[in-house]
Amino acid sequence: MKSHTHDGILVLADISGFTAFVTATELEHGPPIVAALLEEVIRRIAPPLDILGIEGDAVFALGPDGSLVPPAALLDILRAGFEGFRTRQLELDADDSCACRVCRGVCHLRLKIVGHHGSFLRHAVAGRMQALGSDVILAHRLLKNGVAGDHDYALFTRPALDAMGMAPDDATLVPRTERYEHFGDVPCFVTTALPSAWSRSDRTDTGGARADLA
């Protein structure tokens, strides 16, 4: 088994809102919908991001330092992920071949993306690469946050902003603090500007989204 320590960006893209639409009789319809949406997100962000695994309704990806040139290119990559999600979502919603709650509820799904920068240990187990370390744990914890509102959004930590060369006082960012056991207070910044880059009929303007997220 070989282990390598790296610094880089850790990204988790998670589909929210799906549980509310899944019932025992409709379970067979749920996984294909999630798979189709996640596959489209993956197609848009990898490469250059390295997909480390599918975790339920989420994709876990890594971008070791030097793999994104310039580092700010991450914003365009994630924007493409949001766009892919929305495009596939509209296609699935337009398919009226099934009237079950899952298929008719696909339009209510949302995508949230968490970005953190830190250290991680890449460790091969039985031929499969894993990432370990406190920053990996924190990135996953950040999926459980207190962001309010029914919006697609991206949440970045301060180290992620620093890595991208993005100023925390950017007008598209809403500062907030999340608190987790063993990590304490974690300064974060939320933006709806990435998903808002493409048209969505049920979306408020950026200012309204900021008010909901604050």
Each residue of 14-58: pLDDT tens digit?
998 766 656 544 667 788 888 999 999 999 999 999 999 998 889
Each residue of 146-162: pLDDT tens digit?
997 678 999 999 999 99
How far apart (Å, rounded) are the C-alpha atoms in residues 162 and 157? 9
Quote the pTM value: 0.87
Q: Vertex 86, ends 207 and 41: CA angle to 5°?
A: 115
How confident is residue 201, by pLDDT bands cut at 50, 70 and 90? very low
How far apart (Å, rounded) are the C-alpha atoms in residues 43 and 50? 11
Per-residue confidence (pLDDT) for residue 209, from 0 to 100? 43
User: Could you give the domains of the chain?
Assistant: 3-180+202-213 (3.30.70.1230)
Q: Highest mean pLDDT range out of 124-133, 140-149, 201-210? A: 140-149
Inform me whether the pLDDT recorded for 205 exceeds 50.
no
